[in-house]
């Protein structure tokens, strides 16, 4: 019988074909075509089935990658799906948008040996998209309904993963979210060309069909307090993400047409979902025909530049104070942006915004790289006398996010936070300093990744269940 695995010597690495840049710039659809079945099988068979799988170690969910690759290579897709979904609540999302070059694929042994990594993310997407198509993904059928209830604040990946895990055990789960749609940044942050919205919406529907209750347009701090929710539920999870945009405090920062990234991306995502968006419809948040300057070098900046290209901007420049090697964003996304016509202005930092009421130019400074800082990346230093001006009629600031002041917002001043404003938890129990109140996702880690939010949501579910069981045991003993 022909050997199924370890084909990496004979078979070259192939990723799913990308749509041509001409085509993909015309729409907001995802840029990769589907793997055809034979290709997925073939690419999976390149896996070397390592005894110690570094891909799995470097996947935040410890996905059992070698096993589902082998099953895919053997054409046993339903089993591959069962294994894949057992450790991941949104495998088709992670397959699409994890920065695999930094996680599983970056640590694949055959990548290290120069043969090119197994295309793990694409296979994960293929397995799970097939599962949805074939109807293998089914709502949870609870074996025994339990009385205890959990209130989850935030319908992003952390909140949704936690909700699903607790519902599997039979708990009554309600998710509260201040937005009109569930999904968190998956719905209003990340653009369609990375993650089409139907992928998120079918997950949400699955959770609703599983008996999880969603309460939208419900802002904790406005519609109820944290203590109010605590009274209604036996445990509460805070999974509110981080949304406070970092500012650039330079001359001209209050000129018109300078926006935080999330304003720009949310408007674009809402238009894609068919909403009426006043500031987009009147042209303010629409990049069409404009010279756009995006400031920042992370994944959010990449999403802004690529959205501007699709909105038919006249020119799109990305200013970043370090060089390409020292960018925090995914190398894959930088490559996609360059292909699509974004101009990167490396080693450049804004000095001031110039204009009469509206921004017209950005004066910038050239930088050079000095010694590494605490993050290990080389520190940018100003080159004096290097100023020059760049034309701009729309500036998008993408310098990262900080947490909002939750103790104040939630009317719970006692809630302990870190010096960065993230919620402090006991890392073992995931509980905050308030009894029965847990926290997970970006609001604990700071701005991070979907896969880490899912991991946190799953861990929080285990800890909440332990907490509820001990509470139940105590009340039985006391009775």
Residue ranges binding ligand SF4 (CB under 6 A)? 59, 61, 63, 65, 88, 94-95, 98, 100, 103-104, 120-121, 124, 451
Choose from ligand FAD, ligand SF4, none: what does 47 bind? Cβ within 5-8 Å by kind. none
Residues 6+ apart with CB under 8 A from 288: 311, 312, 313
Choose from ligand SF4, ligand FAD, none: what does 220 bind? Cβ within 5-8 Å by kind. ligand FAD
Choose from ligand FAD, ligand SF4, none: what does 53 bind? Cβ within 5-8 Å by kind. none
Integer Cα distance of 477 and 470 in angstroms:
11
453 binds ligand FAD (CB under 6 A): yes
Integer Cα distance of 369 and 323 in angstroms:
8
158 binds ligand FAD (CB under 6 A): yes
Using only C-alpha atoms, the chain has a radius of gyration, in whole angstroms, of: 23
Please, is 265 exposed, middle or buried when counting C-beta atoms within 10 Å of its C-beta (0-12, 13-18, 19+)?
buried
Choose from ligand SF4, ligand FAD, none: what does 158 bind? Cβ within 5-8 Å by kind. ligand FAD
Residue 434, both tokens: 């308030």
Q: Nearest distance from residue 382's CB to ligand FAD, in Å?
A: 28
DSSP-assigned states of every residue in 69-127: HHHHHTT-HHHHHHHHHHH-S-HHHHHHHS-TTTSTGGG-HHHHTTS----HHHHHHHH
Residue 14, both tokens: 């192939």
Applying CB under 6 A, the site for ligand FAD has a residue count of 36
User: Strands 394-397, 315-319: parallel, antiparallel or unpaired by DSSP?
Assistant: unpaired
Applying CB under 6 A, which part among 50-58, 76-84, 318-326, 441-449 lies near ligand FAD? 441-449
Integer Cα distance of 141 and 364 in angstroms:
58
Q: For ligand FAD, which is the closer residue by CB, 194 or 366?
A: 194
Q: Nearest distance from residue 261's CB to ligand SF4, in Å?
A: 23
130 closest CA partner among 16, 37, 42 = 37
Q: For ligand FAD, which is the closer residue by CB, 299 or 340?
A: 299
Angle, CA of 453, 454 and 459, to the nearest 5°: 95
Choose from ligand FAD, ligand SF4, none: what does 59 bind? Cβ within 5-8 Å by kind. ligand SF4
Q: Which of 77, 90, 98, 415 is in the footprint of ligand FAD by CB under 6 A?
A: 98
Q: For ligand SF4, which is the closer residue by CB, 53 or 260?
A: 53
239 binds ligand FAD (CB under 6 A): yes
55 binds ligand FAD (CB under 6 A): no
Number of H helices and number of E strands within the chain?
19, 16
Q: Are 305 and 329 in contact (CB under 8 A)?
A: no
Q: Measure CA 222 to chain center.
A: 26
Q: Nearest distance from residue 421's CB to ligand SF4, in Å?
A: 27
Q: For ligand FAD, which is the closer residue by CB, 146 or 409?
A: 409
179 binds ligand FAD (CB under 6 A): yes
403 binds ligand FAD (CB under 6 A): no
305 binds ligand FAD (CB under 6 A): no
3-state secondary structure of 245: strand
Q: Count other Cβ atoms within 10 Å, centred on residue 51.
A: 6
Q: For ligand SF4, which is the closer residue by CB, 63 or 266?
A: 63
Q: Which of 30, 92, 165, 442 is in the footprint of ligand FAD by CB under 6 A?
A: 442
Residue 175, both tokens: 């998710």
| Alpha-carbon distances of 132 from 66, 77, 122, rounded to whole Å | 22, 12, 15
Alpha helices in 316-417 (DSSP H): 331-339, 406-409
Integer Cα distance of 263 and 161 in angstroms:
26
Choose from ligand FAD, ligand SF4, none: what does 184 bind? Cβ within 5-8 Å by kind. ligand FAD
Choose from ligand FAD, ligand SF4, none: what does 239 bind? Cβ within 5-8 Å by kind. ligand FAD
189 binds ligand FAD (CB under 6 A): yes
Choose from ligand SF4, ligand FAD, none: what does 104 bind? Cβ within 5-8 Å by kind. ligand SF4
Q: Are 234 and 150 in contact (CB under 8 A)?
A: yes
Q: Which of 48, 87, 100, 300 is in the footprint of ligand FAD by CB under 6 A?
A: 300
Q: Which of 60, 66, 154, 297 is in the footprint of ligand FAD by CB under 6 A?
A: 154
Q: Which of 34, 82, 196, 219 is in the footprint of ligand FAD by CB under 6 A?
A: 219
Residue 164, both tokens: 């699903």
Which DSSP symbol is given to 401? E
Q: Which of 118, 127, 190, 334 is in the footprint of ligand FAD by CB under 6 A?
A: 190
Task: Name the site residues for ligand FAD (rule: CB under 6 A).
Answer: 97-98, 153-159, 176-179, 184-185, 189-190, 194, 219-221, 239-241, 265, 299-300, 303, 409, 441-442, 448-451, 453
């Amino acid at each position: 019988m022909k050997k199924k695995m370890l084909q990496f010597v004979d078979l070259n690495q192939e990723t799913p074909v990308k749509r041509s840049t001409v085509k993909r710039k015309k729409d907001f659809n995802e840029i990769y075509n589907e793997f055809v079945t034979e290709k997925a099988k073939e690419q999976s068979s390149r896996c070397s089935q390592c005894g110690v799988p570094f891909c799995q170690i470097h996947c935040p969910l410890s996905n059992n990658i070698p096993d589902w690759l082998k099953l895919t290579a053997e054409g046993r897709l339903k089993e591959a799906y069962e294994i894949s979904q057992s450790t991941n609540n949104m495998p088709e999302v992670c397959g699409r948008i994890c920065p695999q070059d930094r996680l599983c694929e970056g640590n694949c042994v055959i990548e290290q040996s120069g043969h090119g990594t197994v295309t793990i993310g694409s296979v994960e997407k293929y397995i799970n998209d097939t599962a949805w198509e074939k109807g293998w993904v089914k709502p949870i059928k609870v074996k025994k309904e339990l009385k205890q209830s959990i209130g989850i604040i935030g319908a992003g990946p952390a909140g949704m993963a936690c909700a699903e895990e607790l519902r599997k055990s039979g708990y009554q789960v309600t998710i509260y979210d201040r937005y009109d749609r569930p999904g968190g940044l998956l719905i209003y942050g990340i653009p369609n060309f990375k993650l089409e919205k139907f992928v998120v919406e079918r997950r949400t529907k699955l959770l609703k069909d599983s008996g999880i209750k969603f309460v939208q347009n419900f802002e904790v701090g406005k519609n109820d307090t944290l203590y109010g929710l605590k009274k209604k539920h036996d445990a509460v999870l805070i999974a509110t993400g981080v949304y406070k945009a970092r500012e650039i405090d330079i001359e001209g920062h209050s000129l018109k047409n300078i926006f935080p990234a999330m304003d720009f991306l949310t408007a674009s995502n809402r238009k894609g979902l068919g909403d009426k968006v006043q500031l987009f419809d009147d042209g303010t948040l629409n990049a069409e025909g404009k010279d756009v300057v995006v400031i920042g070098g992370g994944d959010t900046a990449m999403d802004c530049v690529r959205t501007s290209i699709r909105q038919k901007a006249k020119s799109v420049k990305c200013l970043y104070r370090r060089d390409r090697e020292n960018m925090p964003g995914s190398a894959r996304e930088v490559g996609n942006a360059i292909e699509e016509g974004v101009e990167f202005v490396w080693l450049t930092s804004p000095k001031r915004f110039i204009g009469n009421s509206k921004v017209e130019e950005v004066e910038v400074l050239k930088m050079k790289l000095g010694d590494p800082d605490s993050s290990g990346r080389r520190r940018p230093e100003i080159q004096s006398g290097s100023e020059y001006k760049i034309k701009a009629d729309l500036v998008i600031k993408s310098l990262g996010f900080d947490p909002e002041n939750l103790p104040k917002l939630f009317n719970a001043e006692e809630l302990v936070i870190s010096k960065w404003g993230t919620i402090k938890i006991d890392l073992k129990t995931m509980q905050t300093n308030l009894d029965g109140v847990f926290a997970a996702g970006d609001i604990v880690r700071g701005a991070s990744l979907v896969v880490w939010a899912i991991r946190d949501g799953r861990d929080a579910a285990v800890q909440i269940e332990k907490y509820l069981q001990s509470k139940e045991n105590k009340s039985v003993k006391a009775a």
